[in-house]
Amino acid sequence: MPEIDINREIAQRIASSREEANLTPEAFAEKTGIDAETLKRYESGDLEIPVAALHNMAPVLGVSVTELMTGEPAKLHRYCIVRAGKGAAVNRKPSYHYRALASNYAAHEMEPYFITIPVKPEEEPFEMTRHTGQEFHYVLTGSYAVRIANDVLILQPGDSLYFDASQPHGLKALNGEAAQAIIVITAE
């Protein structure tokens, strides 16, 4: 059975959604706040697409993040339960390992994720991102550093953090062990 390139599938969905919305790559770049050249690389599948970028693209395209990730709209309207260890995997890159916890709930107004932040060499710089809306973190295990613009904050189990996600931010596990957290991303 051939291996599925999930990044290329998402890239195709983005490109076709952009075309259906009658947006040029330049107009799409302007509306999402993502550089036009970067967007072209996302659409070609040559560049891994961060979850934060999907959060910027989805409202402009008039679709949900779930639809961009899976190709299917969310179907549940009353509630959505995700059992332990389950949830739609969003593991397209080695930086972080996400499990979407509300991907099948239609019209959700926030995106909750269970995230594992893997160990990286200490000298490796933060991988920075930004997107619309706000972000909430609740640390479950391990500890990690969060860089928001020029501030570096250390989070331990039980700590929480809420911030404006339009600020450049990145995460890094500490003490040689992966960290796990619940992260909730809200739309603007």
- Residues 102-125 have a mean pLDDT of 84
Tell if the pTM clears 0.95, that is, is over it: no
Identify whether the C-beta of residue 131 lies closer than 8 Å to the C-beta of residue 137.
Answer: no
SS3 at position 140: strand
pLDDT tens-place string over residues 38-67? 889 889 888 878 777 888 888 899 887 878
Give the range of the structural domain holding residue 63, as residue numbers without chain letter. Answer: 6-70
pLDDT score for 3: 42
Same domain assignment for residues 66 and 93: no
d(CA 63, CA 107): 10
Does residue 129 lie within any of the structural domains? yes
What CATH number is given to the structural domain containing 136? 2.60.120.10
CB of 165 closer than 8 Å to CB of 137:
no
Tell me what the mean pLDDT of segment 91-96 comes to.
58
Terminal C-alpha separation, the chain:
41
Same domain, 100 and 176: yes
Q: Is the pLDDT of residue 79 over 50?
A: yes
Minimum mean pLDDT range among 7-11, 92-96, 111-115, 140-144: 92-96
Q: How many CA atoms lie within 13 A of 49 on its CB side?
A: 30
Average pLDDT of span 137-145: 96
